[in-house]
Amino acid sequence: MYRQYEMLEMTFNAPAPEKSDVCVNLTAVFSLQGSEDEYRVKGFYAGDGKYKVRFLPLKAGCWFYRVEGILEAEGALDVKPAAEGSHGPVRAEKTHLKFDDGSWFFSFGTTIYALAHQSKELTEETFASLAKAPFNKVRMCVFPKHYDYNKNDPEFFPFKVLPGETYTYENLPPFGLDLTKKPVWDVHHPDFRFWDSFEEKLVRLQKMGIQVDLILFHPYDRWSFSTLSQEDNLVYLDYLTRRFAAFPHLWWSLANEYDLCAAKTPEDWLEIEKAVAAGDPYHHLLSNHNCFPLYDFSHEDITHCSCQLRTMSMVPELQNKYGKPVLYDECVYEGNLPQTWGSISAAEMVNRFWKVTASGGYCTHGEVFLDPDEKNLDEAVLWWAKGGTLKGQSPERIAYLRALTEEIGAPLNPNLSGFGQLLTMPKEEAMKAMAVLSQGLQKLLEAGLSMDAVNLTRHLDAEFDYFGKTEDENTFLYYYGNDCHALVEINLPEDKKYQIEIIDAWNMTREKVMDGVSGNLKVKLPGREYMAVLAKAI
């Protein structure tokens, strides 16, 4: 039976390609009876004389198809309505995320970069841990990764080696920055063992209800995948999108830390961006992740802001600038590494999740615990790289936050007012808004707006209100982070009555303290960190 939002696949037998196993002449047109909906998709060669055409029906009904190229076929497929719990691809809805069926998606992600390149035993351990974890999105790479605590070879590589060449990574630097080293990979001949194994993991994640933020390039490379020519990059992307675009749960992340990929220019990234978008008729989410400078998220094909930031206060600023969802896909990691990016406490990881979530953004977890007695660091199993078993204290508290977010049932928008609101607005807008204020307040705000962008962001991060509200103002969430208030003041609409609860984000407790209230309120807090106030309309 074929169902809406579930990939359907047709397999055909024909002689193997004579030249490229990627650039095969095989296309199919799918059209929905009684509508103008039509999709033209590319088929792909899967090895052993088998060709496949995949299609993701976004609507139920009778879909007619016509296959053309090296073989011909036509027919009709009866697609039933979506099964319960099947919602389709995730979309950007202004500054938030929604499934194709209109239900909200609240992203709580984690990072396992080299999940696809580990042993079967370790992979099973990872999936067992994921099954008990709160994460509904995983960031993972197509290409293997070479970095500290992550230097093992995968069992298979994405491509075969060019005829007459020999695979070796001797004398290659850890970031693949030797641009004079000629890659030895034949991108026209994928190693189907790799892609079949990779696909198996994607299917398992889909069945677990986990979105896959698929990282297409990265600089941490000793095998020369990061230095492929742009022509080869586009061949690789052609195969990737032919094979995977019909999966409903995929997102496209053009890179992990695009700005460290020395072999690629801004023009290359734009061409890559357009190639992925053109190869995906279903328009999955697409972005590009940074190390230092943020990518230009204003591009038409970019659907959301994928950020590496340590400044948690930038959600409203980026929402205002781009009008798109903001995802903190890297906010450093819970762990005990010597490196600063891998040594924050569980409490700080939870703190960052609450800050981003209360501001209307989405946060991604990572974990890097190192056994100090580990003799061979290259064989260490750190979640952020290889998976394994989660060891930290943040996941259960992230699960608590996710449950609260899903209970609220609608996304939060930044609930800024006064000084904080003006300082996150474009300066021209802020100056107009200030015109109605008293001269004393104008002077105060002008002083703040005179700061350059970097120092203003630093200031905001030190003194920022992580407050959010739903669009209908039925729910307000005030998160106080590291502040130790004994008393706070909140201001709620006068035309509704609210129930007030105090939440301890670390101890995962809730206490109702007021009922049937509105307007300006003073709420007592216990004078410790990680407290929040939840106001729900009754």
DSSP secondary structure string for all residues of 199-255: HHHHHHHHHTT-EEEEEEE-S--SSSSTT--HHHHHHHHHHHHHHHTT-TTEEEEEE
Higher pLDDT, 378 or 437: 378
Considering the domain boundaries, does residue 167 fall inside one?
Answer: no
Mark whether 439 and 535 lie in a shared domain: no
Considering the domain boundaries, does residue 164 fall inside one?
Answer: no
Mark whether 235 and 337 lie in a shared domain: yes
Q: What phi and psi values does residue 326 have, to the nearest 5 degrees?
A: -115, 120
Mark whether 307 and 220 lie in a shared domain: yes
Considering the domain boundaries, does residue 147 fall inside one?
Answer: yes
Residue 177: what pLDDT? 56
Indicate the pLDDT class of residue 421, thresholds 50, 70 and 90.
confident
Share above pLDDT 70 across residues of the chain, in percent, rounded to a whole number: 96
- 51-72: average pLDDT: 98
Considering the domain boundaries, does residue 163 fall inside one?
Answer: no
Q: What's the rounded Cα separation, in Å, for the pair 518 and 243?
A: 54
Terminal C-alpha separation, the chain: 44
Burial of 197 (0-12, 13-18, 19+ CB in 10 A): middle
Q: How many structural domains are present in the chain?
A: 4
Residue pLDDT, tens place only, 495-523:
999 999 999 999 999 999 999 999 999 99
Mark whether 382 and 399 lie in a shared domain: yes
Among 409, 398, 378, 287, residue whose Cα is nearest residue 334: 398
**What's the CATH code of the domain at 319?**
3.20.20.80
Mark whether 230 and 347 lie in a shared domain: yes
Cβ atoms of residues 70 and 14 within 8 Å: yes
Mark whether 259 and 141 lie in a shared domain: yes
Q: What's the rounded Cα separation, in Å, for the pair 395 and 387?
A: 14
Mark whether 269 and 390 lie in a shared domain: yes
- 290-316: average pLDDT: 97
Q: Considering 363, 381, 408, which residue would you say is the last residue of a domain?
A: 408
Considering the domain boundaries, does residue 366 fall inside one?
Answer: yes
- 387-401: average pLDDT: 98
Is pLDDT above 70 for 180? no
Is pLDDT above 90 for 463? no
Mark whether 483 and 510 lie in a shared domain: yes
In sequence order, what are the beta bridge partners of 62? 78
Higher pLDDT, 182 or 47: 47
Considering the domain boundaries, does residue 176 fall inside one?
Answer: no
Mark whether 396 and 480 lie in a shared domain: no
**What's the CATH code of the domain at 61?**
2.60.40.10
Mark whether 404 and 427 lie in a shared domain: no
Among 129, 98, 187, 200, residue whose Cα is nearest residue 381: 129
Q: What's the rounded Cα separation, in Å, for the pair 338 and 370?
A: 10
Q: Is 175 helix (H, G, I), strand (E, B) or coil?
A: coil
Cβ atoms of residues 224 and 262 within 8 Å: no
Considering the domain boundaries, does residue 294 fall inside one?
Answer: yes
Considering the domain boundaries, does residue 184 fall inside one?
Answer: no
What pTM does this model have?
A: 0.95
Measured at the CA of 310, the angle between CA 337 and CA 426, to 5 degrees, comes to 175
Q: What's the rounded Cα separation, in Å, for the pair 533 and 536?
A: 10
Residue 168: what pLDDT? 67
Q: Considering 48, 80, 112, which residue would you say is the last residue of a domain?
A: 80
* Domain of 261, in residue numbers: 90-157+190-408
Residue pLDDT, tens place only, 466-481:
999 999 999 999 999 9
Higher pLDDT, 174 or 349: 349
Cβ neighbours of 531 (radius 10 Å): 23
Residue 342: what pLDDT? 98
